A and B are shown apart, each in its own frame.
Chain A
């Protein structure tokens, strides 16, 4: 077991330690508990006073028919703010958090290649985006099924899908939202390379996200809408139509890919040439 042999074999140790940093921190547990609380509160609210046709979002009305809809309703409620807050805080913490604690220079002294550091950090952000989405959907679906029972899934088009096909649609929705949130995480990681203050980076990332959502709601700015990072987020509802519409989902995936590439490259441009002093 010489050192040379160790170098030659790509090790997952750094990635595993990164995941441990994210999922082992108590503050992140609290954050995830908040994410999981929304479907719980929603299901309690619907159980106590069932929505009487019309009014709330379309998904909420369906919860009493099929518990799986609790997952979709919870995702819809958390998508504008809670999920972005979670991903923004994790991604903004990726570089700036290490710099703030003074551990970044030790990490680079290990030595870890800077490109590899960025790739591992980004991969961990993507895993967290998936975990956060699945947590909300999973808690919603399981608790919803336990309280209201399962059944065929009613698509937005009014047709019914068998139970497992409905679960498949939910998995597709989670996958799409994960890609969208990961693109936001790439922006957060770039902001994180600019500063040593993780809280500042979190706020900046959130301002960008919420700002994008606000701009997207102004009809006079329709020209720039398709370039906004959050523009295609709501396209996940197209996955619940019958037949599935890809008119918005496919551009949404391209948009997310473009944001990941551009901000990943920007993070590299900033971080690889930066003097790390802390």
Chain B
């Protein structure tokens, strides 16, 4: 005490020390995790693929975080989330920012995904033949019942009548996947990692085509359960930080309690019965983020020109050319108008294909042509422009 009385400055050592302990403690945990013992029996890429296929999954419960850092400007909330109100997923948060989900899985007929928002939640609960969609924001529950005759047979329950060329063993399937990937992709393994406190193997896919914006894709596979628990996509020129990643931050492979799959619509909620087809449709494309596949483009309502799409190039540098549905172009409300304003700020390009605007992100580039055509690819702007000059891109 006498030292402290004569030199009061020394007292500040206590709060300063506490700050150091708190910050240093956090850093220490990170370092310890980075240098933790992640030794696992060595496995080749083919062996890992076999492991993944033969894994018997009892159940999973955990938290999944999706993070995107695509180098795009963060959009103000409300813009870009076309269906945010109804489904709870904001499209804007998928391309910049992060989403947190809690997932539970117990066998084929019990699964639940909860999308966490700061003061709400959207759930998809599947239990037996019932599927419920719940949204706390508008207090709605939608019920889909799968009738028994529509019930999809379990893959292992239909061993007969398969085409002869289907792989017989997981080993064969793994070999075929690797063979199919080989012309475009280098498949290797990397040093093991620690994901969600689980030791994990790392499978690395690297495009052979150097024009691709994707530098590599890393898939972490749990060392014990042999289940993929993290996927990271690294952009060219930024090898330290994943441009997109989705993975567990906390995971347990114990079978979750059956209680988490029980869902009864709460009193006061708006309950709608949906047809099974629409259910599968909606569950497959949450938030209207339905992938545009070639030949599978939804027709717009009305007499607009029939949209077509085509793919130019192959593998990692393939460019998708499609036509936006016309009704999506018409400004309907303030949000669409704001979107138009944002598009107007994108850099403009001219060429034989006409004029258009370019949206460049770390992993992909989008070329929006003024005539309504859209080109998307994991390539840079020049490659997109040359694809746009390709006669096949005219969509005629």
Residues in chain A within 8 A of chain B (CB atoms): 53-54, 57-59, 61-62, 64-65, 76, 151-152, 154, 156-160, 219-220, 234, 237-238, 241-243, 245, 247, 258, 261-263, 265-266, 268-270, 272-273
Contact = CB atoms under 8 A, between A and B. Distances in A.
Given A54-B138, A245-B102, A261-B18, A234 B268 contact: no
A154 B266 contact: yes
A54 B85 contact: yes
Interface stretch (B7-15, B199-207, B274-282, B301-309): B7-15
Given A53-B139, A158-B134, A265-B14, A76 B265 contact: no
A54 B137 contact: yes
B175 interface: no
Nearest to A238: B116
Contacts of B19: 262
A158 B116 contact: no
A220 B74 contact: yes
Given A154-B266, A159-B266, A219 B74 contact: yes
19 contacts: A58-B136, A58-B139, A59-B119, A65-B268, A156-B120, A156-B136, A158-B141, A158-B269, A159-B264, A237-B120, A241-B114, A241-B121, A247-B250, A266-B15, A268-B15, A269-B15, A273-B5, A273-B8, A273-B9
B264 to A, nearest CB: 7
A62 B121 CA distance: 14
Contacts of A273: 4-5, 8-9, 11
A62 B267 CA distance: 10
Max count, chain A CB within 10 A of own CB: residue among B85, B136, B260: B136
Which 10 pairs, one residue from A and one from B, show the smallest C-beta to C-beta distance?
A273-B8, A158-B134, A269-B11, A266-B15, A265-B15, A154-B266, A65-B268, A156-B121, A54-B138, A265-B14
B22 interface: yes
Given A154-B268, A262-B19, 6 more contacts: A158-B121, A158-B123, A158-B136, A159-B266, A219-B74, A258-B22
Contacts of A269: 11-12, 14-15
A159 B19 CA distance: 42
Contacts of B270: 53
A152 B114 contact: no
A29 B85 CA distance: 42
A158 B269 CA distance: 9
